[in-house]
Chain A
Amino acid sequence: DTAVSQTPKYLVTQMGNDKSIKCEQNLGHDTMYWYKQDSKKFLKIMFSYNNKELIINETVPNRFSPKSPDKAHLNLHINSLELGDSAVYFCASSDQGNQPQHFGDGTRLSIL
């Protein structure tokens, strides 16, 4: 029983396309996060939702739009994909913003 699951695991697409990454957690947590791990291996927070409300919105291009239909799901939609968007995207969840956060296995996005 995977606690935090992301789909797809791999995503290869052309520049300019629009794509979505889905995340679901079955831990009963109310806070979910999206992180980006770039080529230098830094894990950087992008967004966080608490009970479907956006609470963290880092300096991320407007092409990235998170959507939380309910507190168990946090999806990431990316418009007009660029080469620099190539990275591994991790979803995480926690209880009321407390620690620790539990991570999914990541989605490796490759832009051709």
Chain B
Amino acid sequence: DQQVKQNSPSLSVQEGRISILNCDYTNSMFDYFLWYKKYPAEGPTFLISISSIKDKNEDGRFTVFLNKSAKHLSLHIVPSQPGDSAVYFCAARVYSNTGKLIFGQGTTLQVKP
């Protein structure tokens, strides 16, 4: 029973264009969502997050959108750069003080020069 799903295993975009990575969740008790980026042989690195009380958060080229009614969030990268090529994980926090995160299975983004 996977509560956080990233249904696209991979995505390929041209440098300079927009990359849109999607994530769906089922648990309405999630109160905080994060995106992590992972390069091969490295650990996930925090990218951007959003609270469940907001619908958008922007940080430079990265914007996360949250649609609570649809239980859907997306990460937009504009403009995409070759260095953005990595695996992107969506994660959701269960409302509690334990910090427990539920991760999606990741989407591999390839940005072509």
Contacts and interface: CB of A to CB of B under 8 A. Distances in A.
Interface of A: 4, 31, 33, 35, 40-45, 48, 50, 55-56, 90, 92, 94, 97-106
Interface string B31-48: 010101000011111100
A40 B100 contact: no
A8 to B, nearest CB: 13
B81 interface: no
B43 A48 contact: no
Contacts, number: 62
A41 B102 CA distance: 13
A100 B49 contact: yes
Interface of B: 2, 32, 34, 36, 41-46, 49, 87, 89, 91, 93, 97-106
A80 to B, nearest CB: 27
What does DSSP make chain A's interface, helix, strand, loop or mixed?
strand
B2 A42 contact: yes
Given A99-B46, A99-B93, A104-B43, 14 more contacts: A35-B103, A41-B106, A43-B89, A43-B91, A90-B43, A94-B99, A97-B97, A97-B99, A98-B99, A99-B32, A100-B36, A100-B49, A101-B99, A103-B45
